[in-house]
């Protein structure tokens, strides 16, 4: 540790000034703009925004999709994590690599695949018609279901990673011990596994939930203008109506929610040490 | 035995859900027909070849490469000294500086793009390319600082103190002692930054102008206009590119340690 603090500050300042001036300042201006209606400071923008039914629908839909995607990925995540930690080291590494793989691939490519699968002439419709279950193709693309499936595929790896690392820290014999003492699988899960892997669940859940809140590509490609989420609504308000007040409000909502989730994560991480 | 089978099937089904769609776009891109269908109408490489002929794809690929490489290098130039200062000095306002530098992770990209458009590009006459470059640099910076910090923290500081005591200048000690030792951390930061920047979409949504579009944005707008398999082919190629980069990085650097 060197004691010359001025030298240290001189080294760290360029990065901080760069981000502060060219990144945070413009974002701050944008957020402040939402409080200015016709030149004077007021909350009118927020009130008008909250009263529009479309905005309410989109806000609730975004929360709902985030919540259910996080919930389902927690269920699948626990099942998978439980199976993965019971593999031998070699196959565990391989499976883990395959789970992480999609995270490195462009989200545009990842979402595009679902058009081929869920479209009017896509695999699902073809299969259902081929089996005689349908006469005409059903609409799956541009529904909440499509957005849900896309988001789940996009963020499930984050949940699996968090849960696997939580389960790895779990002493192996606790499950066996609970079984021997007469607990059924439901009790083993609720009384042993869940309390001991709570941190991993919260971390995975937060990552998935904030990921869904701030998703743009998935709702844009799979939902279109029929299934707007907060980010696609923001884009539409600016592009169609030049409505920077709504944009600033949505931005504030997104930042406040991401920031709280991030703080929650930090608190958990520091509590664990 | 039964439970082993059950656990295998859970893993296989999940992996199929996560990775299967890529198999489908790779095959859909191989179609000989003019529309996206699966299974493909015959097999041909014509859509893979077409990707390289579309002019806008070539231009946007070049822009995305420039942003990913240039932005990441700029982020490392800012980030390495900052990481060094944070791990080796007791600087005033260290927490504030860390929070500011980490902020781009929390702020959703679409907002950044809009903010830079409204407050840099429009009033100050910045070009879209410069704004994109600044945004990508700021976005990659937190990753650069985090990865380089963690490799600095694993390096004992008495080595550079010894070098200084033996008459090396501070800068000389950094270049000759510290830098060679954190080389793989820096490389890992570069790869992580490159992949993050190259796949970045939301920042560029508002920051695009005539002829200035990043590759993912170009793909999105191409997709809206045409429904031929070239986007599938391009997606497959990009997927291969990212996977290859990460695979090589993992093999030589143990990349996942740093992520």
Q: Does B145 touch chain A (CB under 8 A)?
A: yes
Q: Which of A23, A76, A157 is facing B103, going by the closest CB pair? A: A23
What integer pLDDT is reported at residue B258 of this predicted model?
60
Does residue B11 lie in a domain region? Answer: no
What integer pLDDT is reported at residue B257 of this predicted model?
62
Rounded CA Rg of chain B: 22
Q: How many CB atoms lie within 10 A of CB B114?
A: 25
Does residue B13 lie in a domain region? Answer: no
Using a CB-CB cut-off of 8 Å, the residues of chain A touching B18 are 98-99, 101-102, 153, 156-157
> Smallest CA–CA separation between A53 and chain B, in Å?
23
Q: Domain total for chain B?
A: 1
Does residue B104 lie in a domain region? Answer: yes
Does residue A25 lie in a domain region? Answer: no
What integer pLDDT is reported at residue A67 of this predicted model?
93
Does residue A16 lie in a domain region? Answer: no
Contact between A138 and A124 under an 8 Å Cβ cutoff? The reply is no
- Provide the domain limits for residue A80: 44-164+171-272
Does residue B35 lie in a domain region? Answer: no
What integer pLDDT is reported at residue B255 of this predicted model?
63
Identify the three-state secondary structure at position A136: coil
ipTM: 0.87
Using a CB-CB cut-off of 8 Å, the residues of chain B touching A244 are 118
Q: Does B63 touch chain A (CB under 8 A)?
A: no
Contact between B104 and B180 under an 8 Å Cβ cutoff? The reply is no
Taking chain B (259 residues) in consecutive chunks of 10 residues, what is each chunk's mean pLDDT?
Answer: 82 93 85 72 82 87 94 95 87 85 87 90 88 93 90 84 86 86 88 89 86 88 81 86 81 66
Does residue A21 lie in a domain region? Answer: no
Q: Does B169 touch chain A (CB under 8 A)?
A: no
Is B112–A29 a contact, with Cβ atoms under 8 angstroms apart? no
Does residue B22 lie in a domain region? Answer: no
* Residue among A108, A88, A89, A98 nearest B247 (CA): A98
CATH number for position B102:
1.10.3720.10
Is B141–A217 a contact, with Cβ atoms under 8 angstroms apart? no
Using a CB-CB cut-off of 8 Å, the residues of chain B touching A242 are none
Is B90–A82 a contact, with Cβ atoms under 8 angstroms apart? no
Rounded distance between C-alpha atoms, residue A128 and residue A187, angstroms: 39
What integer pLDDT is reported at residue B11 of this predicted model?
93
Q: Which residue has the tokens 């999105």?
A: B220
Using a CB-CB cut-off of 8 Å, the residues of chain A touching B73 are none
- Provide the domain limits for residue B204: 54-226+238-257
Does residue B5 lie in a domain region? Answer: no
What integer pLDDT is reported at residue B259 of this predicted model?
56
* pLDDT per residue as tens digits for the range A58-81: 999 999 999 999 999 999 999 999
Does residue B9 lie in a domain region? Answer: no
Is A27–B115 a contact, with Cβ atoms under 8 angstroms apart? yes
What integer pLDDT is reported at residue A96 of this predicted model?
85
Q: Does B28 touch chain A (CB under 8 A)?
A: yes
Does residue B127 lie in a domain region? Answer: yes
Does residue A2 lie in a domain region? Answer: no
Q: Domain total for chain A?
A: 1
Residue of B nearest to A239 (CA): B206
Is A216–B82 a contact, with Cβ atoms under 8 angstroms apart? no
What integer pLDDT is reported at residue A3 of this predicted model?
61
CATH number for position A49:
1.10.3720.10
Rounded CA Rg of chain A: 23
Does residue A126 lie in a domain region? Answer: yes
Q: Which of B78, B104, B112 is facing A14, going by the closest CB pair? A: B78
Q: Which of B79, B108, B205 is facing A258, going by the closest CB pair? A: B108
Structural tokens at position B224 = 């809206």
Does residue A15 lie in a domain region? Answer: no
User: Global pTM?
Assistant: 0.88
Residue of B nearest to A156 (CA): B18
* Residue among A105, A24, A37 nearest B237 (CA): A105
Is B112–A258 a contact, with Cβ atoms under 8 angstroms apart? no
Probe site for chain B from A13, A23, A95 (most B CB atoms < 10 A)? A23
Per-residue pLDDT of chain A (273 residues; tens, 9 = 90+): 556 678 888 888 899 999 999 889 999 998 988 888 777 788 888 998 999 999 999 999 999 999 999 999 999 999 999 899 888 888 888 888 889 888 888 888 888 888 888 888 788 888 888 888 888 888 888 999 999 999 999 999 999 999 998 888 888 788 888 888 988 888 888 888 888 888 888 889 989 999 999 899 999 999 988 899 999 999 999 988 888 999 999 999 999 988 888 788 778 767 655
Q: Does B152 touch chain A (CB under 8 A)?
A: no
Does residue A100 lie in a domain region? Answer: yes
């Amino acid at each position: 540790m060197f004691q010359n603090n001025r030298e240290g500050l001189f080294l760290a300042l360029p990065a901080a000034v760069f981000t502060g001036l060219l990144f945070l300042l413009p974002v701050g201006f944008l957020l402040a703009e939402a409080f200015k209606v016709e030149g004077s400071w007021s909350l009118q923008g927020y009130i008008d925004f909250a009263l529009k039914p479309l905005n309410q629908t989109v806000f609730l839909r975004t929360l709902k999709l985030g919540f259910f995607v996080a919930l389902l990925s927690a269920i699948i995540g626990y099942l998978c994590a439980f199976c993965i930690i019971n593999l031998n080291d070699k196959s565990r590494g391989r499976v883990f690599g395959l789970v992480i793989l999609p995270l490195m691939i462009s989200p545009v490519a990842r979402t595009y695949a679902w058009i081929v699968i869920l479209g009017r002439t896509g695999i699902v419709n073809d299969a259902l018609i081929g089996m005689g279950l349908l006469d005409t193709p059903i609409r799956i693309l541009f529904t909440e279901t499509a957005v849900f499936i896309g988001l789940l595929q996009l963020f499930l790896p984050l949940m699996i990673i968090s849960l696997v690392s939580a389960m790895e820290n779990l002493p192996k014999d606790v499950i066996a011990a609970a079984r021997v003492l007469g607990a059924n699988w439901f009790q083993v899960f609720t009384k042993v596994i869940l309390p001991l892997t709570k941190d991993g669940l919260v971390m995975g859940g937060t990552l998935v939930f904030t990921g869904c809140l701030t998703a743009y590509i998935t709702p844009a490609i799979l939902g279109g203008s029929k299934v707007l989420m907060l980010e696609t609504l923001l884009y539409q308000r600016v592009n169609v109506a030049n409505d920077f007040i709504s944009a600033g409000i949505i931005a504030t909502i997104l930042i406040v929610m991401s920031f709280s989730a991030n703080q929650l994560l930090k608190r958990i991480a520091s509590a664990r040490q | 035995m039964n439970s082993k089978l059950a656990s295998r099937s859970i893993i296989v089904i999940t992996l199929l859900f996560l990775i299967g769609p890529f198999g489908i776009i790779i095959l859909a891109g191989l179609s000989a027909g003019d529309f996206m269908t699966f299974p493909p109408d015959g097999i041909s490489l014509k859509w893979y070849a077409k990707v390289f002929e579309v002019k806008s794809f070539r231009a946007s690929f070049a822009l995305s490469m420039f942003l990913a490489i240039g932005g990441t290098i700029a982020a490392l130039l800012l980030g390495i000294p900052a990481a060094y200062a944070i791990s080796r000095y007791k600087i005033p306002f260290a927490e504030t500086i860390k929070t500011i530098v980490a902020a781009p992770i929390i702020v959703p990209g679409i907002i950044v793009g809009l903010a830079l458009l409204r407050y840099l590009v429009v009033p100050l006459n910045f070009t879209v390319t410069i704004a994109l470059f600044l945004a990508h640099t700021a976005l990659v910076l937190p990753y650069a600082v985090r990865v380089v910090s963690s490799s600095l923290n694993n390096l004992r500081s008495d080595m550079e103190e010894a070098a200084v005591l033996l008459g090396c200048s501070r800068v000389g000690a950094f270049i000759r002692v510290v830098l060679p030792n954190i080389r793989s951390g820096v490389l890992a930061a570069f790869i992580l930054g490159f992949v993050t920047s190259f796949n970045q979409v939301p920042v560029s949504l508002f920051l695009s102008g005539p002829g200035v579009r990043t590759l993912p944005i170009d793909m999105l707008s191409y997709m809206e206009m045409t429904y031929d398999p070239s986007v599938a082919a391009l997606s497959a190629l990009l997927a291969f590119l990212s996977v290859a980069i990460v695979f090589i990085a993992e093999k030589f650097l143990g990349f996942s340690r740093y992520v």
